[in-house]
Chain A
Amino acid sequence: MPTTDAHVTYDADRKTVVFQTAGDVLSTTADGLRAALEDVLHSPSVHGTFDWLEIDLRTAHMVDSVGLNLLVWLWRAVTARGARLRLKISSPNIERTFRFTRLCERVEVELER
């Protein structure tokens, strides 16, 4: 499984866990990302303490179907905890993917141009 270069911080004021990842969300990187995200979700230090999970994907240029499935899984997991998911992106192409697949109707998508 490829290693994932992720950085996790907790913003207590906004009750938001920020998960910053580097690179694309693809079939070749999704497993590593999923493992890292599971660690975050099951971590005793954040469990039940956040309203928002924010995934910073601003360095990603592509999200493929396996990457999308990962985000759908994450949305389910976060929603089940009573929290919400926010995706920060900088690629208009990824924004189109989220729009075409209606993912943006279920999670908050912030496009930073």
Chain B
Amino acid sequence: MLVVDDDPIFRRIAESALTEAGYEVICAPDVSAAQAVFDHVDAASLACALVDYGLPGCNGIEFVEWLNRRHPTLASVMVTASPEQWLLERSLQARVCAFLGKPLGPADIRRAAARASDITNQRRAFAEMRHQVEQAGRLQKAMLERMLRSGDVSLEYRFHPRYDGSGDFLAYHRLPGGQDVFLMSDAAGHDLHALAQSAYFHGMLSGMLRSGQALPEALCEYNRALLDEPAGQVSSVSVSALQVHRGSGCVSAWNYGGPPPVFVDGQGWVRTIGTRSSPPLGWFADSEPTLDRVEIPSGPVWMWTDGLEDLAETLNASSLSVAYSLLEAHAGEPPQFVAEAQDDVLVARIWPGAAAHARTPEYVQPLIAEDYGPETIAIIDHAQERWVRSLQLALPALSESVRYDLVLCAREAVLNALKHGCSPQGRGRFQVLFESSRQLLRARVWDPGSGYDFDVAQHTARDRDDPVEDHRGLLLMHAHAPRVSVRRGGAEVTMEFPLHPAREEKTSR
């Protein structure tokens, strides 16, 4: 117990009272003597500090503030011969745990010291717990780094847990047969329980896969393990698993409730491998994953946890644009918008067809991929705001005029598709892809209709003579998009927008 008071009588009373209570007491007559105590006494052995306000040199509050900076878990009691309101307020601001007016009897001193000592113990327990959580979080990040930088695989990832530890994890395994498995998981919650569940899941899966168990069976086994948890405890893990079969040139994806992996197919369309219409592991004994198999894409496969989708929703942007923005940011300097995440965010760009450390081929980065039905016509302005926000996030340096051209043309093309080519059963697609090697944005619109013949040149000529009021949307697209190509009578439209267009002067194309 540290007693700091310039009054020798009070020091003697306090020392006597506290010694009687079983404390070892160190007394100091002023602040410099009290500070010097910490040169030879382990601060962790002190239970609390009993500090007089009116000390020579600097006052008791200043000493308590010094303690707060140097030894923040050590609780302090302020004693004073002038217990005035302003001093009470000032003491509370300095985080003292008791404020006592002199004169004080031995019982008062012992009671205050006991309470302060309890608070010190609580603070130390909390600090220790915090330290352990931080260590667990650091360990999780280190394991993620070690696993994904193993040298066998070509991928990039960004991990932004909401707190120190997280329920999100991505594991990579090379199976005995040479197949690669990527396991993106999200244990429910973003607390220590989720972290432990995640570690348990990956430990168990790792053991099973390395001992030769097939991935689907290993996932079923873990589902059973979760369902065997004591009654009243419900734990669940969403899993998106990707297995690369190099021999057959295919990628399989099993999905239990997580966002499905995304890639760009040979026709340049953004696709998912499987869907998310399956419950997570741990809900039902008879849960079946969604399963899909595609050829190994020439470009990357994107995987993320649902925290990224929630963040995209908060930002009113597409998940793909948020994924791109995160992956392009320097690992140690996440974009500011990450602070708005309410959940853990884990995103990866995996090259299933590329050898590790090989220079990754040029690829197309999808920024927006959305499906629309006729109901979107009424909320097209909202959809448009989302496109704008997505482009701003993904390509902050994109000029306003290029963004305007793309968004205006997309609006026209999407509305055209929704009005003429879609039905509640047959939905349309809108996608924006970024080709960084050509510094080009490509907007694509597809509808399930049959399209119709339309002679743009003839219509443009007619409009020049006398402004037309029909098909103006198509004229506008051909005017604002530097390059437009159509297929299936216009049911598929592709428009290209160079990021740095040549100085154009295209009056009435």
Contacts and interface: CB of A to CB of B under 8 A. Distances in A.
A93 B476 contact: no
Given A27-B415, A97-B480, A102-B508, A62 B408 contact: yes
Interface string B380-410: 1100000000000000000011001101100
B479 A100 contact: yes
Interface in A80-110: 92-93, 96-97, 99-103, 106
Contact of A100 (B380, B411, B473, B480): B480
Given A97-B408, A97-B480, A100-B479, A68 B472 contact: yes
B204 interface: no
A106 B378 CA distance: 32
A101 B412 CA distance: 15
Nearest to B416: A65
A90 B486 CA distance: 33
Contact of B507 (A66, A72, A93, A100): A100
Interface size class on chain A is 20 to 34
B400 A64 contact: no
A76 B289 CA distance: 61
B498 to A, nearest CB: 16
Contacts of A73: 469
Contacts of A49: none
B335 to A, nearest CB: 25
B475 A93 contact: no
Interface size class on chain B is 20 to 34
B401 A93 contact: yes
Contacts of A28: 378, 380-381
A38 to B, nearest CB: 16
A101 B508 contact: yes
| Residue from A28, A65, A68 having most chain B Cβ neighbours under 10 A | A65
B105 interface: no
A69 interface: yes
Interface in A8-29: 26-28
A64 B412 contact: yes
Contacts of A27: 380, 415
B221 interface: no
B467 A75 contact: yes
A100 B464 CA distance: 11
A27 B407 CA distance: 14
A65 B412 CA distance: 7
Contacts of A92: 401
B463 interface: yes
A55 B407 CA distance: 24
Contact of B506 (A68, A69, A93, A100): A100
A102 B463 CA distance: 9
13 contacts: A27-B380, A27-B415, A65-B473, A72-B467, A73-B469, A92-B401, A93-B404, A97-B480, A100-B476, A101-B479, A102-B463, A102-B464, A102-B507
Interface of B: 378, 380-381, 400-401, 404-405, 407-408, 411-412, 415, 463-464, 467, 469, 472-473, 475-476, 479-480, 506-509
Given A64-B408, A65-B476, 9 more contacts: A27-B380, A62-B407, A62-B408, A66-B472, A75-B467, A99-B507, A101-B475, A103-B467, A106-B467
